Amino acid sequence: MPALMVDIKLITGLGNPGAKYTETRHNAGFWFVDALAQHYGARFLPEKRFHGDVAKIDIGGNSIWLLKPTTFMNRSGMSVGSLAGFYRLQAENILVAHDEIDLDAGTVRLKSGGGHGGHNGLRDIISQLGGRDFHRLRIGVGHPGNREQVVDYVLHRPGKDDQQAIDDSIDDALRVMPKVATGEWEKAMHELHTR
């Protein structure tokens, strides 16, 4: 498992573009980078060459790109790969925020490397980057209890209580971003995972 010894230069939130998907569980990654942009006073602008909406923030003197792919979830890697390639970023410089059905709503976890766990956005990013050594922010959205219902579940909006729990977990994640940005991975994980 890769240790985070380098600064994060790109934080990508995964989701699907368009009003139809804005409030669905699958867009939890978008919710996180939107919250980051708002917190640091940045605004997303469309960038065709990166197949997504892009913003730039500064965390503790570290300049970080924020990216929301507009390619739809299954082609997220096209967007991530375009920006990473243009700025010559390594996988270790990238944090991907995404919905995670294997965590309860309200739980959020940092992870270094690993597989895609059936998440099509992660699958495409691994394929495009040619490796899995990027970092993840796993935003729990809960599980429908039956794998046959997963697709329908993530493409619907959470109930009021789950939405509040997810929003609170995003706030928790925002608080550790200064440590993540400067490579204090262990400290960030400890703080986030012991809340």
Residue spans per domain, the chain: 10-193
Tokens representing 46 are 């469309």
DSSP 8-class letter at 39: H
- Report the alpha-carbon distance of residue 108 to residue 168 in Å, rounded: 10
- In this prediction, residues 54-62 reach a mean pLDDT of 94
Look at residue 118 and tell me whether its pLDDT is greater than 90.
Answer: no
- In this prediction, residues 82-95 reach a mean pLDDT of 95
With residue 172 as reference, give the H or E element that holds it: helix 160-181
**119 counts as catalytic:** no
For the chain, how many helices (H) and strands (E)?
6, 7
Report the share of the chain in percent with pLDDT over 90. 83
Q: Among residues 135, 88, 131, 90, which one has the least CA distance to residue 112? A: 135
Of 26, 98, 119, 135, which is the active-site residue?
26
- Reported CATH class of domain 10-193: alpha beta
- Report the alpha-carbon distance of residue 69 to residue 176 in Å, rounded: 24
